[in-house]
Amino acid sequence: MARDQDFITEARQHNQAIWKAIHDAHSRMQSEWNAKDFGNTLADGEGENEGINKEEAGAFVFATIDVFHAIISGGTITAIVDGVWREVQIPPGFSTNMAKLL
């Protein structure tokens, strides 16, 4: 029985970390990108960020994070399914179920 409760606690902790990371990237990073005009001014990566340019960073901050945000918000996203771009319906109640674990 104790493992059952530990499992639920662990699921909640992972859910909270994912939720926070997506919302932080969606709100804070997109706002900072726009405010600092990083689309034009962000320097290419150095050190551990070597090989990452502003286009790749921008793709993460906008395209990738917007997909994750759409998933947790419910609705429809466009994704590759079986090698073809298709609209994918997020299951009803997904965001409500996720919110319960917060």
pLDDT over 70 at 7, yes or no: yes
Q: What are phi and psi of 76, to 5 degrees?
A: -120, 140
Mention every residue, 6+ apart, whose C-beta is less than 8 A from residue 37. none
- pLDDT score for 46: 95
Q: Which long-range CB contacts under 8 A does 92-101 form with residues at least 24 apart?
A: 98/15, 98/19, 98/72, 101/11, 101/12, 101/15, 101/16
Could you tell me the residue ranges of all domains in the chain?
2-100
What's the pLDDT score for residue 54?
92
Q: What are phi and psi of 4, to 5 degrees?
A: -60, -45
For 26-84, write each residue's pLDDT tens digit.
888 889 999 999 999 999 999 999 999 999 988 888 887 877 777 776 655 555 555 66
Give the pLDDT confidence score for residue 45 in this predicted structure: 92
